[in-house]
Structure 1
Amino acid sequence: MSATPPNPQRRSERSRQAILAAAIELCTEKGYVGVTVEAIAARAGVSKKTIYRWWPSKGFVLLEALAQRTDSHAPFPDTGHLAADLYAQMTGVVRLLTTPPFGPAYIGILSELHHDPELTAAVHEQFITPRFTAAVNRLKSAQRQGRLSADADLELAVELLYGPLYYRYALRKPAHTAERMAELVDHVLRTLDCRP
């Protein structure tokens, strides 16, 4: 009886997972700048050619590795208390941005966006747009309930809420304290004429 031939798809998936794990490990150890495709290949036990067959750059490798570890389509909290829901979601974002391995990898990926349009499109599709849409939809729900002014610009409100988080993250400033985050949420909601 002959042995079953190896399944190439299973072998490919094993290599892909090894590459993603190696990219995250290296980024955690050395930071984004210290990661190279050569180093990923060596750590994963594959050739550079294998990596470039699936991804155009290390940014894409790390983006997929991060996407695999986070749920971009997780439901936005809706407990009926808008301020508490925004606060909970925003503190979750800060925790994600400031905790390895996500934080170092994501800040590195963001630094590439100014000169890599394809990576920019992928980051928006996988991370930015789903979260932005979920936040706008949560505000729309409050608006339908009469909690927010009918003419409030909800997309601008989301930028007002999350802009300070990314500002502090991008400039390597300490994240807001819990009290300051609550003040940010309260301030933005007051500009939207939020009613309890």
Structure 2
Amino acid sequence: MRRVDGTISATRKPPPACEKTTVVSRTGPRRSESVRLAVLHAADDLLVERGFAALTIEGIAQRAGVAKQTIYRWWKSKVDILLDTLTDDAREALEWRADESRGVEETLTSHLQRVADFFEEPAGQVLLALLGHAQLDSETAASLRAGFLKEQRERDIAGLRDLLARDQDLTFDDRTLDHLVDLLLGPLYYRVLVSGSPIDKELVETTSRLVLALAREPSTRNP
């Protein structure tokens, strides 16, 4: 996949040529994994080039080299296509990576930097477009929250729980962990969604340091 700056990103990796995968979507079976990936690649490339409003099924079909009827057989709308491409790309890009050779703060900072980098990728632009559209369309909001956002939230809570367990055996109840994830990711989402500014290294490092400091406070831990 291309980055916003035109360079090649390894976020989405195509399957080996010999691999044949039967994929089932919310609208029925898909005949070809290669065609599915062509459609997803076309959708996020066109989103970056033209924006959400100008993105059409016709344009996606033309860029992917498939019939429009094929797309409608698998997806109901461009929003469904974008939800699928977001799910595919974000699974690896936003993964929490355990690295015992690094300290807790370094590991947390590294993860936040990957989140920051994600927003510069086409997949991050897809997420921002869907979040924006969700403010105007209740069906998109419901699909986004019940699918990608819910699943990513669960991964973030589990990842932070595992990381904090390495730090002085810190353990937290679900409610406290939920709040810590808000504090960890909130500044990054605020920066890109509200101020529209890049997420710089200072914000990443400061956020990581402050969240860890709060987690280590005796009053924050489980009784």
Residue equivalent to 2:216: 193
- After alignment, is 13-22 or 33-42 more displaced? 13-22
TM-score, structure 1 normalization: 0.76
- After alignment, is 158-167 or 119-128 more displaced? 119-128
Instruction: Report if aligned partners of 1:140, 1:154 keep a CA contact under 8 Å in 2.
Output: yes
Change in 2 beyond 3 A, CA 1:96/1:144:
closer
Pairing partner for 2:129 from 108, 119, 122 = 108
Matched, 1:176 2:199: yes
Change in 2 beyond 3 A, CA 1:92/1:147:
same
Larger Rg: 1
Change in 2 beyond 3 A, CA 1:134/1:44:
closer
Instruction: Report if aligned partners of 2:161, 2:172 keep a CA contact under 8 Å in 1.
Output: no
Amino acid aligned to 2:214:
T
Change in 2 beyond 3 A, CA 1:144/1:23:
closer
Please give the residue correspondences for 1:47-62 in structure 2 after superposition, counting only pairs within 5 Å. Answer: 47-62=67-82
Amino acid aligned to 1:29:
E
Give the share of equivalent positions with the same residue, in percent: 30
Pairing partner for 2:181 from 158, 180, 195 = 158
Structure (1/2) with the larger helix percentage: 1
Give unpaired runs (5+ residues) of structure 1.
1-8
- After alignment, is 129-138 or 115-124 more displaced? 115-124
What's the offset of the Cα at 1:43?
A: 2.4
Instruction: Report if aligned partners of 2:85, 2:123 keep a CA contact under 8 Å in 1.
Output: no
Pairing partner for 1:95 from 117, 123, 135 = 117
Give unpaired runs (5+ residues) of structure 2.
1-21, 23-29, 219-223
2: CA distance between counterparts of 1:143 and 1:69? 28
SS of 2:199's equivalent in the other structure is coil
Matched, 1:43 2:63: yes
- After alignment, is 11-20 or 21-30 more displaced? 11-20
Change in 2 beyond 3 A, CA 1:65/1:143:
closer
SS of 2:132's equivalent in the other structure is helix
What's the offset of the Cα at 1:172?
A: 4.9
SS of 2:108's equivalent in the other structure is helix
Please give the residue correspondences for 1:18-37 in structure 2 after superposition, counting only pairs within 5 Å. Answer: 18-37=38-57
Pairing partner for 1:84 from 106, 109, 114 = 106
Point out which structure has higher relative CO (alpha carbons under 8 A, 6+ apart). Answer: 1
Count of residues in Structure 1 that have an aligned counterpart in Structure 2: 185
Please give the residue correspondences for 1:1-20 in structure 2 after superposition, counting only pairs within 5 Å. Answer: 12-13=31-32, 14-20=34-40
Instruction: Report if aligned partners of 2:96, 2:159 keep a CA contact under 8 Å in 1.
Output: no
2: CA distance between counterparts of 1:21 and 1:139? 31
Q: Deviation digits for residues 72-110 of structure 1, max 9, x if unmatched?
A: 5834435363222221111101101122x2232221111
SS of 2:53's equivalent in the other structure is helix
TM-score, structure 2 normalization: 0.68
What's the offset of the Cα at 1:182?
A: 1.1
Residue equivalent to 2:221: none
